[in-house]
Structure 1
Amino acid sequence: MTFEDKYEPQTVAELIFADKAAQATCQRYATGKPYKPLMLWGPPGTAKTTTARVIVRERYHAAGYDGAIEEFNGADLKPADFKKLLNVANMLQFACGEALLLINEFDEIAEQDQPKFRSWMDDYKWINLVVTTNEQPGVQGVKQKIMGPLQSLFERVELAPPSLKDCLPRAQAIVQQEGFTVSTQDLQVLLSTFTGDIRDMLPLLEEGIEQLRQGTPPQPPKPSLQVVSSKPSK
């Protein structure tokens, strides 16, 4: 098992949020029956897909269902595929009492197919969706790939890039689980190159824990070497 797999969040409590309101909404979706489909949006690296999986997994767990998460990608969905979504939803409804589907890159559903998908959602309101997008739905002055009437069907939650301070409690818990105790100051040194992309945190922690195993105090990550061409610029 890789370090990333070992510490992939399984509950909302293990996720990292920059905003308490977003955390509360995700917790509500994970533990209570949603009243609207959920759209998680924000830039890459804010753990949208991971958060969506946690929400689905927690709801499955509450229903006593241990099946795989049914996950789709908007770029692959055409009107001919909508029946497949319905079939999977029917299976989940029978297996765990709730149809909960995850669609990543929701904005990649073709513009001409979005009205059809909205109509599909209206026809099957019993199907609960959690979708993710790198777009900024509903933000004024930003060109929208997802049409307004489709956006309006969702509760939209922004997952903003977390700060280093936001990451420290989760980082400390992981280090302790590996059998070490380090100060907050040492953790800040270890994660000093963190820039808000949650995908970067675990590799930095893994490197630091290896240093601790070797008896070396946490050191700032070494900068990656850049290869500079010797050819003169034109």
Structure 2
Amino acid sequence: MGDLFGPDPEKAPLAEKLRPKSLADVLGQAHLTGAQGAIGRMVASGRLSSLILWGPPGTGKTSIARLLADAVGMRFVGISAVFTGVAELKTLFAEARMAPTRTLLFVDEIHRFNRAQQDGFLGVVEDGVVTLVGATTENPSFALNAAILSRAQVLVVRRLDAEALEALLARVEAAEAAPLPLTAQGREALIASADGDGRFLLGQVETLLAANLAEPLGPTELAALLHRRMPVYDASGDGHYGLISALHKSLGGSDPDAALYWLERMLVAGEEPLYLARRMVRFASEDIGLADPQALLVAMAAVQAYQLLGSPEGELALVQACLHLATAPKSNAAYAAEKAAKKLATATGSLSPPAHILNAPTKLMKQLGHGAGYEYDHDAPDGFSAADYWPEGVGAQSLYNPSPRGHEARLAERMAEWARRRTARRGKD
């Protein structure tokens, strides 16, 4: 029977029973724990610096921290940021100062500490009272303050690949002294269902073993027995921004298949569909513009269609918009023109329009020359007067430069002719 502060070996879950006994046993993280990895080199030198282990759930972050302490002969203290407050931290720091050996303080979910709580670690880390090893699933660049990051090395713990998960299943079979009741295809489906999470895989195996099956299961039977793992996705965090960036760049790179994949990845993970629709509306203006004037109309129609139909029927309209945007000719000329025009407008202040294009609704305004010499373009040959519309002191500027793609190629030809005729007129005036 286990003691009051540890798991009962008979009741411990598989994840605890199969916890690695040495760093060499850690699966899927050889880039860190191997002889040439950052952790491997630290252990070889016997000098351990403070670390932040950043990676998805179920990849061995806690095991690595425990084994690190054993490997360098340090006292291990583990806490969770979810359940620990400032008072408890002060007690832990006081105990660490009095301890006969150095203390490795492992903080699970360290991103849960607020900025002030994170600052509380600075003094004890700086003085060597504790060696901090934090674990987080969130991007440390956003979740941790700069002071912590300057004192701790960030190491990326990778999602477990199929080879690592297969090795984990082999360990289960060795511990159970029996093969798992799965066909070859069922085994592949079980590994795929874990989505890189070793802890989740072991939980699935426990459900499988508890069923006491007489015949091996294939993928279909397995799916009926086990629950599906929801994808790792934080709708307001790093996962959200990473996937929307992937969607945006796939659209920009004119890869409809990849764009559709990332769109569905976010929908399956529970992203708000109208958020995706709004991003596609923006993309239609920013990255396509007048190269395909229909793109914005299609994106807006997708918004309206989803608002009318909701999920799941309305999601097909998002798919249609996604494919249209991905296959459309691309141009950021409108986006570049907006930035250039804004810069010029800011620099030129409150310059008045030229008098000939000002309205003159009163006698005084007519006396001041408002509207004098205005040429109505519809009365000009080809509907183009080549008049000057810029304020005095600015002169004609080139802000919008259409791309040679799609509809903008025709616009470029038209604008080139207009520019030639304006230049000719200025030479005569």
Corresponding residue of 1:7: 18
Residue equivalent to 2:140: 137
- Equivalent position amino acid for 1:175 in 2: E
Decide which of 172, 176, 180 is 1:178's aligned counterpart: 176
Report how far residue 128 of structure 1 moved: 1.6
CA shift for structure 1 position 149: 2.3
For 2:111, the equivalent position in structure 1 comes to 107
| Residue identity opposite 1:14 in structure 2 | D
Other structure's SS at 2:107 match: strand
Question: Distance between the aligned counterparts of 1:107 and 1:225, measured in 2?
Answer: 29
1:38 and 1:129 in contact (8 A); partners too: yes
Given that 1:14 and 1:170 are in contact with CA atoms closer than 8 Å, whether structure 2 keeps it comes out as no
- For the residue of structure 1 that corresponds to 2:216, the secondary structure is coil
2:217 and 2:19 map into 1 onto residues whose CA distance is 23
Give 1:37 shift: 0.6
Shift of 1:180: 2.6
- Residue 198 of structure 1: aligned partner: 198
Which amino acid letter does the alignment assign opposite residue 51 of structure 1? Answer: I
Q: Deviations over 1:56-82 (max 9, x none)?
A: 3x237x57x7xxx4222335342x544
1:70-116 deviations in Å (ceiling 9; x for gaps): 222335342x544312222135x41xx32222112222222134334
C-alpha distance in 2 between matches for 1:88 and 1:27: 28
State the alpha-carbon separation in 2 of the partners of residues 3 and 45 from structure 1.
14
* TM-score of the aligned structures, taking structure 2 as reference length: 0.42
The answer as to whether partners of 2:183 and 2:217 remain within 8 angstroms in 1 is no
Check 1:171–1:197 CA distance in 2 against 1; reply closer, same or farther (3 A cut): same
Partner of 1:23: 33
Specify the SS of the correspondent of 1:128.
strand
Using a 3 Å threshold, how does the CA distance of structure 1 residues 127 and 14 change in structure 2: closer, same or farther? same
Distance verdict in 2 for CA 1:47–1:225, change over 3 Å: closer
* Inter-partner Cα distance in structure 2 for 1:45 and 1:90: 32
Shift of 1:157: 0.8
User: Comparing both structures, which one devotes a greater share of its residues to helix?
Assistant: 2
User: Would the aligned equivalents of 1:37 and 1:153 in 2 still touch at CA under 8 Å?
Assistant: yes
For residues 1-234 of structure 1, what are the structure 2 equivalents within 5 Å?
1-4=11-14, 5-17=16-28, 19-24=29-34, 25-29=38-42, 33-56=46-69, 58-59=70-71, 62=73, 69-75=76-82, 76-78=84-86, 80-91=87-98, 93-94=99-100, 97-122=101-126, 124-138=127-141, 144-181=142-179, 185=184, 187-209=187-209, 214-220=213-219, 221-223=222-224
Cα separation, 2, equivalents of 1:197 and 1:26: 21
CA distance in 2, matches of 1:8, 1:41: 19
Q: Relative to 1, partners in 2 of residues 1:205 and 1:116: Cα closer, same or farther, differing over 3 Å?
A: closer
Q: Distance in 1 between matches of 2:207 and 2:119?
A: 48
Instruction: Could you tell me which runs of 5 or more consecutive residues in structure 1 were left unpaired when the two chains were aligned.
Output: 139-143, 227-232
Asked if the contact 2:190/2:201 (under 8 Å) is kept, the reply is no
**Secondary structure of the structure 2 residue equivalent to 1:70:** strand
Q: How many equivalent pairs are there?
A: 210
> What is the root-mean-square deviation of aligned Cα atoms in Å?
3.4
Q: SS of the counterpart of 1:39?
A: strand
Give me the whole-angstrom Cα distance separating, in 2, the residues matched to 1:164 and 1:130: 27
- SS of the equivalent of 1:71 reads strand
Deviation at 1:207, TM superposition (A): 4.3
Instruction: Give % identity.
Output: 20
Aligned counterparts of 1:59 and 1:159: Cα–Cα separation in 2: 19
Alpha-carbon distance in 1 for matches of 2:168, 2:68: 18
Q: Which has the higher contact order (CA 8 A, sep 6+)?
A: 1
Q: Is contact 2:93-2:129 (8 Å) kept? A: no
The residue type paired with residue 140 of structure 2 is P
The unaligned stretches of length 5 or more in structure 2 are 1-10, 229-309, 311-429
Q: Residues 171 and 30 from structure 1, CA distance in 2 versus in 1: closer, same or farther, beyond 3 angstroms?
A: farther
